[in-house]
Structure formats: structure tokens, C-alpha cells
With several copies, the nearest count.
Chain A
Amino acid sequence: TEEEESVKVNDEVSIDNPSGDLAPLSKKTTVIIAEDGSASGAGFYIANEKGYFDDYNIEVEFVTFANSDDMLPALASGDVDIAGGISSASFFNAIAQGIDVKIIADKGHNEIEKSYFTFVIGADKQGEIKDYSDLKGKKVAVSTEHAVDDYIFHQMLEHSGLTEEDVEFVLMPDFGNMMAAIENGSIDAALQIEPLITQGVSEGIHVRFGDATDFAPEAQIAMVLGSPQFMKDEQDVSLRFMAAYLKGVRDYNDAFKKGEDKDKIIDIMTQYTALKDASVWEDVFVTGLDPNGKMFIDDIRNQYEMYEKNGAISGEFNFDEAIDTTITEKAVKIIGEYE
């Protein structure tokens, strides 16, 4: 549109720049990132530690929220520029209310057979629950309603041929609580997340139960969200931010997929996340982060349609407007495709 064109973006590339591509910003700019302390922020952490943001004269500041829904008001008001969130009805509702937040890049999907976000069952339930259909009549804890957790839960039900009535859905907003609830037998299974999965396994609380990619191989779990001001009015910054972020994600992939410089990356992860034990990082199924920032957009649309079908969406809006990957694509073009 006209408005977008009016924003002049300095996207000239020169090898002489500290980054080897885009020129640094003339003025030091602070970008505020909202996090919930999860490992899926790896791209931000690594880019920060490795100086990719510095190269563009960007300074990042992290703030932590209890969950991604709490970030929305802050994102809408411009208090934070970037947030890591999950797709949820609340996100779409907020957009419908005029809070113009954009989904811009991948921040977490399950790797085939190595899901970081998947079901676990109580360690003592292994004899009882062998197949998804054995969950019939069981209590399963899910951390949100009308959000990606719920969506995966429903995918699982569909896959196993069960209906909503067959399984008792237990809403439990805290993943830590799920560990406690499994341990004392309050629930039989839970849709749990790394690194709690690995921790719980090693402590004998629960065991992995199948893998989420069995029934939802292409589920988009977490996304990078951008504030409207940041995406529209500060494209100089957002483009550089995205370039740096993707460099961080690529280092992450190099480390966990190719084993390059793994110690350094794990060191960074122990610094930024609550999991301080480097040896445990060797065992966890890490979050899948696409090196080109690509998302499963069709899956996000499926999720949205499910929330709408369940009556969780109030108000009208155009789904496509919620997704804006132009900056990400431009950044990939500038730093090149990942092999």
C-alpha cells in the first residue's frame, strides 16, 4: 500500500559492514522482547550473546511474563516490540478488538519423533496406557483452552478415534503443576513441554507417550509476534532485528542438528533459561526452529478455525491480516537461504 511505501528502508548491503550485510543503525536502538522463560527463545538469546544484534547497533532487553496471553496488552501498547507467543483464541480476539499484532516468524514446532511439546503419562501408568485409545476415561491435563495445546489435544483425539466425552480434559495453566498432579495421581496424562519432560523422565515422574508428530506433524506451536508500530513504522530496525534473529536460529540449528559449537550454544541456553544443568541439555528434545523463519501457516489457519468453531472467537477479522512475513522473507533474502 501507499503507506508502506512511504517508509524508507535502508536495505543496502555491504560486506564491509560489521554484520557482513546490512549497515548498522545510525543510532543505538533498543528492542524489548517479551519472553515467558521458555527455551524456544533460543534465537534471541544466541543472537544477543553472539553479538548479531550489536552488529546492527541494536540493543535487546528481555522482560518475562507468566504466559504469552499477558504479553498482548504490552505488545499492543508498544511497551514491548517483540513477543514470543503461542497461537490462541485470545490472540485472534485481541486482533478482532483492534489490537494490530502480527505473526512474523517461527518460534517453535515439533521435530519429527523428537517433539519438545508432547504427551506424557505417569510413570506408573505405563502398563495401563499403551495406545492413544487407552486414554479413554483418563484425565489429561492441558495448559490452555482455545489455544495450541487444546488444538493438539483435539488432533490427538481425532487420531485415536476418541471423542471429547471420552477423555477428561483438565485445565492446568502451569506446566509445573502438571508434574505435581501426575505424581500424586490427580491426572493420568499431560501435554507437557521440554525441558520439564526430560526432567520428569529422569526423576521418574512421567514417561513420554508416543510423539506429537504421530498425529500433528506440522503443528505450529509458537510464533514470533511483532507490535504494530515495530513492524510498520520501524522497518529499518525490524528488518535488522529479524536478520540477527535468524542468524541466531541458524547457529542453534548448527549446534543441535549438526553438532557444531554445541557447548557454546548450551552454555548460552543455561544462562538464559531456568535449566542450568548443561548435561540435561544433551538429553532434551529441543524446540524446532526453522532457520528461515518459515511457519506452517495452514496449520495456524486450522487452529483458528477450530477456535471459531468452538465459539471462542468474538468479533470479525481477516485471518490473512494477522500474518505478515514480508520482513522475514526480506531478511532471508539478505542473509541468504540456509542449507
Chain B
Amino acid sequence: MKDIKNPIETEKREWRKQQTQLRLKTWLTIFSPISLLLIWQFLSQSGLIDARFFPPPTAIISTFIDLLTSGELFHNINISLFRIFAGFLLGVIPGIIIGLCMGLYAPFRHFVSPVVMALMPIPTLALLPIILIIFGIGEVSKVVTIAGSVFFPVVINTAAGVISIDSIYLDVAKNYGASRKDFILKIALPGSLPVMLEGIQMGQAIALLTIVAAEMMGARSGIGYLIWTSYSAFLLKEMFVGLILISFFGYIFSLLLRWLQRKLIPWR
């Protein structure tokens, strides 16, 4: 038979233990990439991995600083961010509109979905020449490349979101005499928002994955351009700077989207 005294003290101690564990986990999260970098540094400097192909992190950082101070990097980042944002918006907005229409009008859905399903698996890389023919070599074609790959997850998730709205909410709307417009604005849009935002999140990830492909044609700047021209010229430090930038922006964007999610669906 166990017997413990002083209930509040016991729980306080328990709670403190948990707090320590929580803090430990936060430390692990910070420690993990740092330790990885340290191992990389060690392996690269000691020659256990080929430093020509995997330059040590310190060398990459110094290249990063060089590029930064020369101002070149800012220009590349700016232009790529513009392309990503523009492409993202150009993919997301029609995605939401068409997705809502697909969710709301069954005949439209049946008409459009086979086309969407057929186009979805086609790799962006393979579409570059066609995009180039239609949109030329300017900014438009880069933005379209990104938009095209963002579009599919958004349209599919938006339609799925509308369809997945619990039928009881449709009954509520009908019972309280919602007009078509009210139904779309008050039921379909908010009801599909959580699933739609998952699609947008996926679209954001894909936008980043596509930037290198988008900047393979007719570009003179951008992070994707930096990555592949650096690699073509075997400037691996510069290439790694580009990769790290992509990864960094991936992190920033996912934070932004999570913030947006909290703002847009406070009721979750």
C-alpha cells in the first residue's frame, strides 16, 4: 500500500519534473541541427567526407557573408521571393475559386475533375517547354510555373473541404433560409477553410520545390538560378548557400502560414 503525504507539494514536484523535460526537448530541437552541422564540419575538415563536394559549414557561412556583403544575394532573394509570392497567389486564388465551384456544383465537379486529375501527375520540369512557348521567357513564365504546381493541391483540397462539410450545417443553413450568396459566404467558405488551408500549406511547400525548375529558363537571378548556375560552375559553396536559403524560407513560410491558420480559423 503506498502512502504519500502533502498532495500539493507532490504535484508541484511532478510538474517541475515535467517542465525540466519540456525544456530538455526544446534544447534537443536546437541542439539537433547544431550537432549535425558540427559533425559535418568535423567530417569535412578531417577529410572523412570530400570537402570539395561537401565544403565545411564554416566555409559555407563565409561564402554566405561574402555574397551578402556584395549585395548580390539580396537581389537574388528579392526576385525569388517575388516570384514565389506571385506564383503562390496566382495558383492559390484560382485554386480556391475553382475548388469552391467544384465543391458547390456537382456537374462542374464532374466535368473538371478528370482534367485536374490528368494534369496533376505531370512533372513541372516536363512542362517547362510548353510554359515557355505560351508565356515567353519573362517573369510571367516563372510565375506561371510556380502557380501551376501550387494550383493542384489547393483546388483538390478546397473541393474536398466543401464536400466534407457536415451535412447538418447545410440543414441549419436551409432551415434558417440562407440565400445562395449567404450559403457560400457563411457556410461553404468557412466550412471548407481548414481543409483548404492544408492544401495551401502543401502548395507553399511545392512552390519552394519548384523555384529551381522555374529559374532554369531565361532567368538571370534568383535563388534557384544561384543554385543551378553555381552547381554548373562547380561552385558548391555558393550552391549550399542557395540550398540553405531555400530551407530557411521554407521555415519562415510555414511559420507565416501557421500564423495565418490561427487567424483564419480561430474556431479550431
Direct chain A–B contact by Cβ atoms under 8 Å: yes
In the assembled complex, how far is the CB of residue A77 from the closest CB belonging to chain B, in whole angstroms? Answer: 7
Contacts of B113 on A, CB cut-off 8 Å?
A: none
Q: Does A73 have its Cβ within 8 Å of any Cβ on chain B?
A: yes
Alpha-carbon gap, A328 to B234, bound state (A)? 27
Chain B 108-137: CB-based contact to A (< 8 A → 1; otherwise 0): 000000000000000000001100111011
Interface size on A, residues (CB 8 A): 60
Alpha-carbon gap, A69 to B137, bound state (A)? 14
Query: Do the beta carbons of A312 and B233 come within 8 Å of each other?
Result: yes
In the assembled complex, how far is the CB of residue A146 from the closest CB belonging to chain B, in whole angstroms? Answer: 6
- Interface stretch, picked from B81-89, B95-103, B173-181, B224-232, is B224-232
B219 interface neighbour in A63, A176, A183, A185, Cβ under 8 Å: A63
User: Which bracket fits the contact residues of B?
Assistant: 20 to 34
Query: Do the beta carbons of B233 and A195 come within 8 Å of each other?
Result: yes
Contacts of A205 on B, CB cut-off 8 Å?
A: 52
- Among B52, B133, B230, B233, max chain A CB count under 10 A is at B233
Q: Does A172 have its Cβ within 8 Å of any Cβ on chain B?
A: yes
A93 interface neighbour in B134, B138, B235, Cβ under 8 Å: B235
Chain A 192-216: CB-based contact to B (< 8 A → 1; otherwise 0): 0001100110010100000000000
Q: Does B50 have its Cβ within 8 Å of any Cβ on chain A?
A: yes
In the assembled complex, how far is the CB of residue A185 from the closest CB belonging to chain B, in whole angstroms? Answer: 7
A79 interface neighbour in B137, B225, B233, Cβ under 8 Å: B137
Q: Does A29 have its Cβ within 8 Å of any Cβ on chain B?
A: no
Q: Which residue of B lies closest to A277 (CB)?
A: B235
Alpha-carbon gap, A76 to B236, bound state (A)? 15
Query: Do the beta carbons of B220 and A64 come within 8 Å of each other?
Result: yes
Contacts of B219 on A, CB cut-off 8 Å?
A: 63-64, 171
Contacts A77-B136, A203-B52 given; indicate if A93 touches B220 (C-beta within 8 A): no
Q: Does A62 have its Cβ within 8 Å of any Cβ on chain B?
A: yes
Query: Do the beta carbons of B234 and A63 come within 8 Å of each other?
Result: no
Q: Which residue of B lies closest to A145 (CB)?
A: B229
Contacts of B217 on A, CB cut-off 8 Å?
A: 65-66, 70, 74, 172-174, 177
Query: Do the beta carbons of A181 and B232 come within 8 Å of each other?
Result: no
Contacts A98-B52, A174-B217, A180-B53 given; indicate if A73 touches B132 (C-beta within 8 A): yes
Contacts of B235 on A, CB cut-off 8 Å?
A: 93, 274, 276, 314
Contacts of B132 on A, CB cut-off 8 Å?
A: 70, 73-74, 79, 177, 180-181, 184, 186
Query: Do the beta carbons of A80 and B137 come within 8 Å of each other?
Result: yes
Chain B residues near A (Cβ < 8 Å): 50, 52-53, 128-129, 132-134, 136-138, 216-220, 225, 228-236
Beyond A88-B233, A173-B216: 20 further Cβ-contacts under 8 Å? A62-B220, A63-B137, A69-B234, A74-B136, A76-B52, A77-B133, A97-B236, A169-B220, A170-B137, A174-B128, A176-B232, A179-B234, A181-B137, A183-B50, A184-B134, A186-B137, A196-B234, A274-B232, A274-B235, A314-B235
5 contacts between A and B (CB under 8 A): A69-B231, A70-B128, A170-B137, A176-B233, A274-B229
